[in-house]
Amino acid sequence: MFLSTDYSNLGDHALTLSQLQLLNNKEFADYDIIEYSVDDTIEAVMLLRNRINEEDIITLKGGGNIGLEYFREELYRRLIINSFPKNKIVMFPQTVYFPETKKGNIELKNTITTFNHHKNLHLFFRDVESFNTIKKYIKNNIYLVPDIVFSMKTEQIMNLSECERQKNKALFCLRNDREKLLTNEMKQNLKNVVSEHGYNIYETDSVKTYEINKDNRIKELIKFFKVIASSSFVVTDRLHGMIFCVITNTPCIVINTYNHKVVGQYDWIHSNRNVHLLNNMEDFPEIIRNLNLSYDNFDGLLELRKMHEIIIEVMREKE
């Protein structure tokens, strides 16, 4: 497994853990799983070039970094694909976002060229827009499935039933990075509305200011899930903030962002009455007034998880 998370983003650590859980499936009992972090990439490629067997399978961590915003990961992914032309490579569900600029178009072309040169590359995308973008250029071995974190088996790491809901606890989990859309004034307006309805406001973020690595990722994810699962509801603009709410049965108001990351995953769960997509800030007071505070399991989650079985099938296929 290449490009596993070695930085302090719990959403990306959840991607890594969910992928590792799938790879630990009984179907792969005859394989050893070796995890290489993003920072390990160049050294690992140099090490494995002359040691890897053709029967070995390479997997690439999923997420939302095909594009210019997280260009280091984009370049590393191309390096890995180009370095192992004889191995099956499976890219876990990704989002594609190249801006309509000269550089964006050039780098999209470079990515497509890399994809097309590998004859045993299997590409999973997690939203329709990303899938259709690549489908214009690549016809085979391309698949559409939900984000891999929907498949996370939380029961393997914790007992969610032990988390007690705190009445009137509203949790805000908002971005403070290059992808944020909300101004401080907009955030305060949202908080004012929530306070007016009698809720106590708590704040958190899934990106931490301290080190999170493979040794403490499960501990940190458990801590974060407990914070979410103890809330009456969550307001977030983070894709995995929304998904964490779904897998912990926590009502959620998710704020759309400038790209299709959030809405692309919301489309998979739009029938979930506990998740509300906010496209217009003026609609926020009405959503709060009519919030459905039920904590039932989302029936559609099982169907989403079944869709991930195709990843196992693709990996087990003999060429």
pLDDT tens, 142-151?
999 999 999 9
* Measured distance CA(18)–CA(251) in Å, rounded: 22
Q: Which residues contact 188 (CB under 8 A, 6 or more apart)?
A: none
Pair 60, 90: CB distance under 8 Å = yes
Pair 127, 95: CB distance under 8 Å = yes
CATH number of the domain to which 220 belongs: 3.40.50.2000
How would residue 292 be classed by pLDDT, with cut points 50, 70 and 90? confident
The answer to whether residues 186 and 287 belong to one domain is: yes
CATH number of the domain to which 80 belongs: 3.40.50
Give the model confidence (pLDDT) of 172-230 as tens digits: 999 988 777 899 999 999 999 999 999 999 999 999 999 999 999 999 999 999 999 99
The answer to whether residues 175 and 120 belong to one domain is: no
The answer to whether residues 143 and 225 belong to one domain is: no
The answer to whether residues 42 and 173 belong to one domain is: no
- Tell me if 5 is assigned to some domain: no
H-helix or E-strand spanning residue 186: helix 184-196
The answer to whether residues 162 and 125 belong to one domain is: no
The answer to whether residues 45 and 130 belong to one domain is: yes
* Measured distance CA(134)–CA(41) in Å, rounded: 25
pLDDT at 49: 93
* Measured distance CA(194)–CA(181) in Å, rounded: 19
The answer to whether residues 269 and 176 belong to one domain is: yes
Least confident range of 29-33, 87-91, 181-185, 268-272: 181-185
The answer to whether residues 109 and 162 belong to one domain is: no
- Tell me if 29 is assigned to some domain: yes
pLDDT at 247: 96
- Tell me if 14 is assigned to some domain: yes
- Tell me if 3 is assigned to some domain: no
- Tell me if 285 is assigned to some domain: yes
Give the model confidence (pLDDT) of 71-93 as tens digits: 999 999 999 999 999 999 999 99
pLDDT at 179: 74
The answer to whether residues 89 and 115 belong to one domain is: yes
The answer to whether residues 147 and 183 belong to one domain is: no
The answer to whether residues 145 and 35 belong to one domain is: yes
User: Rounded to 5 degrees, what angle do the CA atoms 52, 2, 70 make?
Assistant: 140
Q: Which of 16, 218, 77 is nearest to 6 (CA)?
A: 16
Domain that holds residue 23: 10-152+304-316
Number of domains in the chain: 2
The answer to whether residues 117 and 148 belong to one domain is: yes
